[in-house]
Chain A
Amino acid sequence: MSIIETDKKGVYTYIPSDQEEMYRDRQAILGLFHEYTAYQSDITDDDILVDDSSISEILIRVDKRKDYFKIFHNKTDIDELKEAALIVYWLLKFRPFSVSVSLPEIAQKYVDINERFALFLLLGAVKRAVDMKGAEFSLKNDYIDLLGYAFRYWDLSKEAMMLVAETLYAAF
Chain B
Amino acid sequence: MRKLSEALNMTLEEYKDEYAQAGGYNTRFNTNHRLGGLFRDFLADGCASLIKEHPDIVDHISGKQDKEVE
Name A's B-contacting residues (CB within 8 A).
24-25, 28, 31-32, 35-36, 39-40, 42, 69, 73-74, 76-80, 82-84, 87, 103, 105-106, 109, 116, 119-121, 123-129, 131-132, 137-139, 141, 144-145, 148, 166
On whether the beta carbons of B30 and A74 are closer than 8 Å, the reply is yes
| Pick from B35, B58, B70: contact of A132, CB under 8 Å | B35
Question: How many interface residues does chain B have, given as a range?
Answer: 20 to 34
Name B's A-contacting residues (CB within 8 A).
25, 27, 30-35, 39-40, 42-51, 53-54, 57-64, 66, 68-70
| Pick from B25, B39, B69: contact of A42, CB under 8 Å | B69
Contact flag A141-B54 (CB < 8 Å), given A106-B69, A109-B69, A124-B46: no
On whether the beta carbons of B50 and A124 are closer than 8 Å, the reply is yes
Contact flag A105-B69 (CB < 8 Å), given A25-B40, A78-B32, A121-B43: yes
Query: For chain B, what secondary structure do more than half of its interface residues adopt (helix, strand, loop), or is it mixed?
Result: helix
On whether the beta carbons of A39 and B46 are closer than 8 Å, the reply is no
A145 to B68, CA, bound (A): 18
Contact flag A39-B62 (CB < 8 Å), given A106-B69, A120-B47, A131-B49: yes
